[in-house]
Amino acid sequence: MSESFSIDETDRRIIEQLRKNGRATNQQIAEALDLIAPTVSARIRRMEEADMLRVIAVSDFAVHGYNVIIQMAVDVHGRPASEVVNELATFPEVFAAYLVTGRHDIDLIIVLRDMEELGSLIIEKLSQVRGVRAMRPAVALEYQYGHAALEYGRPRVVRPDVDDLDRQLIAILAEDARVSNRKIAADLGVNEGTIRGRIKRLQQDGMIAFTALTSPKMESATKVAFINIQADVDNVRDIARRIAELPMVNTVMIMLGQFNILTFCLFKDLDKLHMLASEEILAVEGVHHIETSIAVKTIKFNPRVVRITETPRNDDA
């Protein structure tokens, strides 16, 4: 990447449109931003060629057979936490693994097909890793989304009917969401109408959504923090919704565990993170206590698999 590469406000506005709908055409983006389509095309191509932007399809955990998501805080003793987290990350059930500072040493995101798998995972796998002293699981019940959100509408399908063609289509779109239906159809040996119909169905069922990933070099927030929150149980949804509207908040989950809200935050300056936690989140009515962990290192994470709680309002292909 050239050292002289820089983006301006127009680039950022284009990226925001792509985050809302990565399949929007250049003409649709141009009309929304009062630009012309060739300008949009050239700017997207420039950012892609500089490896600063990639437009992808994200797929729901349910597409891959996972219906339970658990946060697991891990305490380590007698062995470097960096070694422990690397070993924990090898288990397929561990979707994301972070080395963190704070009350605990490691934060994991675990995905399971059902709750019956949790016991054997903890007893037969995680607890057998040398150095694991204690684990604190919390089950994700519901999701809110912050400023990195897609636009959502109707509830998703929990147990989808996804076949091999759907999976091949999702794999292609996960690499490049802006590839044409015609090219996908040719690559998969089906007609273009089939691809168009499949994409529309997968979106309507909440199995895929289209968004834009940007290089951390473009972002003002490049580090990850986890803020666990104890809040009023009888008003937890409204509290989570208000927290999701705060700057730097990426994702908010309503949890079953010691804390009933978990917030993922993206930040650059510790001062801003401290202000978010101590002055903004604690100021939300109904919040009683918070506990913050900062990810020192990301060991494992796949940005192409997410929980899509609701369906995008726009299903333009």
Instruction: For residues 12-28, give the mean pLDDT.
Output: 91
Instruction: Annotate 240-268 with DSSP letters as a single string.
Output: HHHHHTSTTEEEEEEEESSSSEEEEEEES
Which two tokens mark 166?
């759907």
Contact 227, 123 (CB under 8 A): no
Instruction: Annotate 62-102 with DSSP letters as a single string.
Output: GGGT--EEEEEEEEE-SS-HHHHHHHHTTSTTEEEEEEEES
Contact 255, 140 (CB under 8 A): yes
Amino acid at 113: R
In the numeric block, the tokens 């994409």 are attached to 199
Calpha distance 98→123 (Å, rounded)? 21
pLDDT level of residue 5 (50, 70, 90 thresholds): low
Cα 238 to the center of its chain, rounded Å: 21
**Average pLDDT score over the chain:** 87
pLDDT of residue 99: 97
- Distances, alpha carbon 301 to alpha carbons 95, 108, 251, 304, in Å: 6, 10, 15, 9
Which two tokens mark 282?
């604690």
Instruction: Give the model confidence (pLDDT) of 110-163 as tens digits.
Output: 999 999 999 999 999 999 999 999 999 999 988 766 544 444 334 455 567 889
pLDDT level of residue 306 (50, 70, 90 thresholds): confident
Other beta carbons within 10 angstroms of residue 168's beta carbon come to: 15
Instruction: For residues 39-61, give the mean pLDDT.
Output: 91
Instruction: Give the model confidence (pLDDT) of 175-203 as tens digits.
Output: 999 999 999 999 999 999 999 999 999 98
pLDDT level of residue 316 (50, 70, 90 thresholds): very low
